[in-house]
Structure formats: C-alpha cells, structure tokens
Structure 1
Amino acid sequence: MVVASLLTSCSLSTVKNNTANSALDYKLGVIETTGYRNQSFIHFFDENLVFQKKEMNNYSSMSEPFDCPIYENGFLFSIPKGEFGIRDNAFILKYDISKDTYEEISTGLYSMNSLAVSNEYVFGVNTINGKSTIVRCKKNDSNDSKDILSKEYSKTYISKIVVLQDELYAIFNSIEQKIFLVKLSIDTLDVVEKFDITKYGSPCDIIDINDKLYISNQYSNEITAELSSCITVFDKSTKSFTQIDTSEYSPNNMLVMKGLLFTSHYDRVQDSGNKISVTDLYANKSKVYTLNHPVKQIITDNYYLYVLGDRTVYKYTYENDKLSEVNHVELSKNESSNLFYVTSFFLIN
C-alpha cells in the first residue's frame, strides 16, 4: 500500500552560533560526535591539512557512517539523530559554514537513516514498524503545508536515497528479502522505475558516471553475511546491469579521480578495512592498495585523495599507478574523548 500526504509540521528554524569565523581557508571538515550528550564538533582544515577551527554545536549522533553529510554550495546537510536511547530529533540540519548558523529543517521523521539533496529540495527517509516514509522539503525557504510532500511504503525498508543528475533513486528492501533499485519522481515521490537487483548483492554506495549508476556491494548475501568484491553497474539508457569485480571484499564508498574509479574497502558493520581499489573503467581492470591505517571514507578534489582513518585525515597523490601519502593530521582530543567518535568528513569546494 502506498500513501501520499502533505506534512504541516515541516518548518525551518535558525540557530546562530556563538563564534563566527571566515571560511575562506577551509578545505575539509571532520565531524566528531557522541550520543551521550547534545554536543558535536566539526574540525576544519585547509588544503595542506593545517588546522583552522574547531566548531562546537549542540547536536548529538551527527552524521553517522551510514548517513554521511552532504556539502553543497557553502551549506552542510546532515542528520543529527539525538541522544542514545532517545533519538528524538526529527529534522535535517542545514549548516551555513560562512555565516556559522544552523537551520533545522523539520521533517516529522525520527531516526532517519538517509538523506538526499537536489537543487530545490532536501529529502529524508526513515523506517518504523516495517513502513518507510520519504519526506521532501524545500531547502531554501520557510516551508508551509503546500511545499511539503511525504510518501509511505509499507512492508519496505528503504536503506538509501540519493539524488544523481537531478534524479532521485532509492534502495528498497522488501519483506520477501528482495532488493530493488528504484527511481522515484522528485515531483510526486511515486515509483517511476523499479529493478530487482537481489542477485547482485547488498548495495552500499551509489554514484553516477557517464549516464551509468555504480553501486558498491558490501555483501553478496546480506542474510548469510557473505562478503562481496563487486560493483554493480546500471546502464540507464539500455536498462541493463553488469558487474565489476574489484578482487577485494567490502567495497564501500566510491569516487572518480583523474578518470579512474577509486573505491574504499571498509566493512561498516565490522568497522574494519584498510584497502583502496583503483579501477580503469575502460580496461575493466582493478588494482588494490593496502594502507597502514583504516579507510573509513574517501573524498577528492580531483587532484588529491583524502582518506579518513579513526582520528586521522590522510592526503594522498596518485601518479603512475602509485598511491603516495603527502601528509596527515590527527584530530585534537576532547576532555571527554572516550565519549566522542569520528563519523565522517566532507570536502569544501
């Protein structure tokens, strides 16, 4: 059963932080959070990984590994779920980095597990009692009821939503243990296309390259926890699927740098992994690099590859098939460092 409705509870509230600093030198930010109190930190660094600022806010469980933040045109969108055992936050957080202000875009959804951002909208999704709800809110204006749309999908767990080339995609997991790649209408949140991808494995990350979707598969069978080494490729023009075998288990997040596909190999459930594969998409060949630190997340400015470890950010070059570290920086510790953990990082364009 599918139900469409308008939410009147969506609204935009603004919080000004105590300090405001210039963001001109910021190159990347690292999120450190906790679920034990309403407090998180964003560590800012310049392009040489020189520390710039440590920003504190009053939000907990901010941008956990399964729902990485999205940076767009000076704004950071994230999900702060709330304190452990409560998880009562029902909004997407919008942080204006240059103005140092926070806006809470209320969605009415608790325990959201994924978000997406388009030119005009921000999307959130959660699953409660076997029913998934997707909400679409305007991201730049104070919302009223006519601008807010939600849609419910019963007997479905939606594990991920993403906007790619102005198209909204989602991963549907049915109670029949089937997995679907679904294209949704941004205008109505209705299903436009639906493809059974169960045989390819459990999806993790999704990116768009030259009119093709690349889907990393952490598990070939999520129920039996059988690991996968493959990336599924969906050709949007022919509606066909193929796979790339990276020859290394647990493909996680992906990106394109210098015309090559870089994939981190990190099991997010086991919180382990220290490898990166580099794939030539034309030759369909992959080379795996083993690093001496965890590879939780990777981002790029197309010149350098940045890698997030436990509490350290690493900067790499890739030339002539060689992945070389330029430098690294370790995050400063908090007084209650045992309560805090690093979840993700983001690049500032």
Structure 2
Amino acid sequence: MEEKNYSGVLILAETEHGKVHRVAYELLNKGRTIADACGESLSCLLLAPDTFESSACRELCLRGADQVYVMKSEAFQHPEEVLFAENIISFIEEKKPDTVLVGATHLGRSLAPRVAAALGTGLTADCTDLQVDEDGNLEQIRPAFSDNILAHIKTVTRPQMATVRYKEFQEAPVSDKAQIEIKEIAPYIEENQSVKIEQAVSIGDMDITDAEVIVAAGRGVRKEEDLALLQELADLLGGQVGVSRALVDAGMAPSSIQVGYSGNRVKPKVYIACGISGAPQHLAGMKEADVIIAVNNDPSAPIFNIADYGFVGDLYEVLPALTEHFRKDGQADER
C-alpha cells in the first residue's frame, strides 16, 4: 500500500490491574509531538476485559489523544498475545495509521513483532527517542553495538512501528480543555483457535520500573547465589533487585531486571549500586534516581561521581552491615 493511504499516529495502550498502564501517557507525549509535526491525528487503541470501565480512558483524551478506541471482550480478561495481535492487526488494516507506537512492556514486546510481521512492515524495538525528519518520516533512535552508538533508523514500509521503553519520556500533561472522544468497538475475533488458557497464574513480581527502592548488582558480585545478599536488603526495604548487563550476559540474572541503556530505565526513590563501576550505559538507566548509594571497593569508580552517598569497601562486608542497620532501625521504629 502506498504511503499516502496511511495517516495518523496510533498508540497501543494496555491495562494493568484494571487501569490504563502509564506507559501510554508517556507515548502520548511523544505521539502528540509526532502527530503535530506531520499534521495528523493522534489516537489510542485499548483492548480490555468486558468489566473494564471505558470512562477510565478519559485520561488518555485529557493527555492528548484525539480519539480513543476501546475494544472489550470477556476473552480479553487475560492478555493472550495471539488473540490480541489478531485484533490489533485487523484494526490497523482497517484504519491504516501511518505510525504505531507500543510500550516496551512484557506484553508490548511480544505483541509488536507479531503485528509487524503480519503486516509486512518494519519494527524498531526499545527506542530511546523518536523524531520526525524533514520529509515527515519517523526517525527511530535506539542503542546498538553493545550500547556504544545510537542508531537512527527509518522504516520504508507502512505503518512505521516502534516500541518505546517505559519511563523513557515524561508523561503528557493533562489539559482541562481537551475534547473527550471515546469509541467502543466490537472485537474482530474473540476466540483463539490455536491457544486456550486453562489457568492464569500470577507470579506476583513487581515490575522493576515501578520499584521505589532498587538494590542493584554489578561485576562485583561473584556468583549467582550471592544475589541473595542483595535480595535480603531489597526485601527489608520493600524494594527489588536489579542487575547490570554484565550479570545478564553471564547468565546470572534475567534481562527483565537489567538496568541500563539496553535494559530498563528506572527512576526509584533510592538506588543502591553494589559492585557497579558506573559505565555510561548503566548510568543512563538509573541516573535519575532521587538518591543514589554506591558500594564499591575502587575509590575511583565513576559511580561515585553521581552518588549521593558512597561506601568504599567490599560489598560482601558492607551489604550485611547495611542490612543489619536497617533491620535494627526498623525494629526501633516498631517499638
């Protein structure tokens, strides 16, 4: 299909615990800029269970969406990638948006390539920025070559598709002058013939991007079992463990808790960096934390340049002492 047959920017929103996932508000901020630069409309598509209140989508309009399409079904109670993708594909084939933006959440990272492949178009994953060139084409920017360069990518087919990391952009501001246009539309498909969910089990893990306290491990952690030291402190503080890319590459931790340019960008209240030297690629993912505490046996480690507090010492000695301090402090507060 020729480019002239495509128009508008579409954001694929998703729900989380009965609410719109906040990554959609960040995409609206950048999406509004792109749409205005191209003189096009900005819309959202949300697939949700039939119990979802469409009025909960009002904030999408208040934050810049010209139209919000809500597709509800009992079949959407649990996100099932194949069924979701088939409905999104049908919607895009009908509406023909020029640009499709997807949050790089666990669901978004699964849906986007399925949709792009079915549409025969290109997809740039985990973008850190989006710009519009002089010809109105989307310039998709993401780290490449072990995070040593920023690649600028353009898609020659339509729609142009990109996933964007959560907390990469500021949320779009709320406007009290926005027009509210929410349209409920019927699903194209409500049953997946190839996959049937027998039981949905919640593992209860917090998304690291939502954690207010993160205790992160770097090369200074010698083996996987030693992550228990960090987990103990994280549990005590109501936080979560994160890791640098080195530990993911070593097979010691999953990529879902990786912090950095090629991992997650986080903005916790407290970030405790343990055995992390402070490579630029890692700092890019956590430097906006409110308070940064560094633990490293190298006093010249770059991490100390941005740390609010620092401990020069062996993390295997410092961490147990910190844990004991916070444990006693917590017990004192209880008394």
* TM-score, normalised relative to structure 1: 0.26
User: Which structure has more strand as a fraction of its residues?
Assistant: 1
Return the index of the structure with the highest Cα Rg. 2
